[in-house]
Structure 1
Amino acid sequence: MTIANSHQPFSFSALKRGYANPHKLYDDLRATDPIYFDALSQCWIVTGYAEVVAILEDERFTSDLGTYSPKSAMGWDAVQGTLSQSVFFKDGIEHQRANHYLLRHIAQTARRLTSDIQTIVQQRFSTLAPHGSMDIVKDFASAISFSVTLRVLGIDIHEHQKFMRYLGYSETISDIASGFPVGNAQDLTALISFLRQHVAQKKKTPGEDLISAFHAAPEIFPDEEAVLSSTVMILTAGHVTTKKLIGTGTAKILDRWPQLQAEFVQNPALPKLICEEALRMSPPTRYIARWARQDADLSEQFPGSHHIRRGQKVLLFLEAANYDPKYFENPKEFNYAHRPVKHVTFGFGKHRCPGASIARIEAHASLQRLLQLSHLKTDPAHPAIMNPNPILGGFRSCPVTFDPHP
Structure 2
Amino acid sequence: MYANDELFSSRLGMRLGANADAVKAVADRMLIVTDSPEHVRVRRLVGSAFTPPVVRDLEASVRGVVRELMDAVVADEPREFVSAVARPLPTQVICAFMDLPRTDWEWIGQLTTDGIDSDDDEVRLAANSELFLYFTEVIEERRQRPGPDLISILIRAAAEAEESGAAPFSEVDLVVNLAGILIGANETTRYAVAGGLVALANHPEQWSGLRRDASLVAPAVEEILRWTSPAVHAMRTVTAETLLGGRTLAPGDRVTVWTPAANRDPEVFPDPETFDISRRPNRHLAFGHGRHVCVGARLARMEIAAFLDELRARVRRIHLVEPVEWSPSNFTRGPLGVMVRLEPAGSAPVHRKFNDSESGCHADQ
Report the TM-score range of the alignment, normalised by the length of the smaller protein.
0.7 to 0.9
> In structure 2, the residue corresponding to 1:374 is in which secondary structure?
strand
> In structure 1, the residue corresponding to 2:57 is in which secondary structure?
helix
Distance in 1 between the 2:295 and 2:334 partners? Answer: 22
Provide the residue aligned with 2:9 in structure 1.
62
Distance in 2 between the 1:195 and 1:131 partners? Answer: 42
Where structure 2 has 5 or more consecutive residues not aligned to the other structure, the ranges are 347-365
Distance apart, 1:84 and its partner CA:
6.5
* Cα contact 2:235–2:254 (8 A) shared by 1: yes
Distance apart, 1:309 and its partner CA:
0.9
Cα gap change, 1:181/1:236 in structure 2, threshold over 3 Å: closer, same or farther?
Answer: same
Distance apart, 1:361 and its partner CA:
0.3
Where structure 1 has 5 or more consecutive residues not aligned to the other structure, the ranges are 1-54
TM-score, length basis structure 1: 0.75
Distance apart, 1:222 and its partner CA:
1.8
* Cα contact 1:145–1:242 (8 A) shared by 2: yes
Provide the residue aligned with 1:393 in structure 2.
333
Distance in 2 between the 1:171 and 1:62 partners? Answer: 26
The equivalent position to 1:367 in structure 2, one of 287, 299, 308, is 308
> In structure 2, the residue corresponding to 1:376 is in which secondary structure?
strand
The equivalent position to 2:218 in structure 1, one of 272, 285, 305, is 272
Instruction: Spell out, residue by residue over 1:321-379, the C-alpha distance to the aligned partner (whole angstroms, 9 max, x if none).
Output: 11111111110110122333511111223331111100000000011112222221211
- The answer to whether the aligner puts 1:243 opposite 2:190 as a matched pair is yes
The equivalent position to 1:291 in structure 2, one of 209, 221, 237, is 237
Distance apart, 1:102 and its partner CA:
3.1
- 1:241-390 correspondence runs (5 A): 241-257=188-204, 259-298=205-244, 302=245, 304=246, 306-371=247-312, 372-380=314-322, 383-390=323-330
* Cα contact 1:214–1:221 (8 A) shared by 2: no
Distance in 1 between the 2:129 and 2:169 partners? Answer: 23
Which one-letter code corresponds to 1:85 in the other structure? Answer: R
Distance in 2 between the 1:71 and 1:336 partners? Answer: 35
Distance in 1 between the 2:117 and 2:211 partners? Answer: 39
Distance in 2 between the 1:72 and 1:289 partners? Answer: 14
Cα gap change, 1:102/1:190 in structure 2, threshold over 3 Å: closer, same or farther?
Answer: closer
Distance in 2 between the 1:334 and 1:67 partners? Answer: 29
Aligned residues: 336
* Cα contact 1:221–1:227 (8 A) shared by 2: no
Distance apart, 1:212 and its partner CA:
1.9
Instruction: Spell out, residue by residue over 1:188-224, the C-alpha distance to the aligned partner (whole angstroms, 9 max, x if none).
Output: 4443322222122222222223222322214466211
The equivalent position to 1:233 in structure 2, one of 156, 176, 180, is 180
Distance in 1 between the 2:13 and 2:325 partners? Answer: 34
> In structure 1, the residue corresponding to 2:317 is in which secondary structure?
coil
Cα gap change, 1:100/1:256 in structure 2, threshold over 3 Å: closer, same or farther?
Answer: same
Distance apart, 1:116 and its partner CA:
0.8
Provide the residue aligned with 1:203 in structure 2.
143
Cα gap change, 1:103/1:387 in structure 2, threshold over 3 Å: closer, same or farther?
Answer: same
Cα gap change, 1:270/1:87 in structure 2, threshold over 3 Å: closer, same or farther?
Answer: closer
After the TM superposition, which of the residue ranges 309-318 and 92-101 deviates more from structure 2? 92-101
- The answer to whether the aligner puts 1:96 opposite 2:43 as a matched pair is no
- The answer to whether the aligner puts 1:86 opposite 2:30 as a matched pair is yes
Provide the residue aligned with 2:362 in structure 1.
none
Cα gap change, 1:180/1:394 in structure 2, threshold over 3 Å: closer, same or farther?
Answer: farther
Provide the residue aligned with 1:172 in structure 2.
114
Instruction: Spell out, residue by residue over 1:62-91, the C-alpha distance to the aligned partner (whole angstroms, 9 max, x if none).
Output: 111379988738xxx558735773144211
> In structure 2, the residue corresponding to 1:242 is in which secondary structure?
helix
Cα gap change, 1:385/1:66 in structure 2, threshold over 3 Å: closer, same or farther?
Answer: closer
- The answer to whether the aligner puts 1:223 opposite 2:165 as a matched pair is no
The equivalent position to 1:192 in structure 2, one of 129, 132, 140, is 132
Which one-letter code corresponds to 1:350 in the other structure? Answer: R
Provide the residue aligned with 2:94 in structure 1.
149
* Cα contact 1:88–1:98 (8 A) shared by 2: no
State the identity %. 22
* Cα contact 2:10–2:235 (8 A) shared by 1: yes
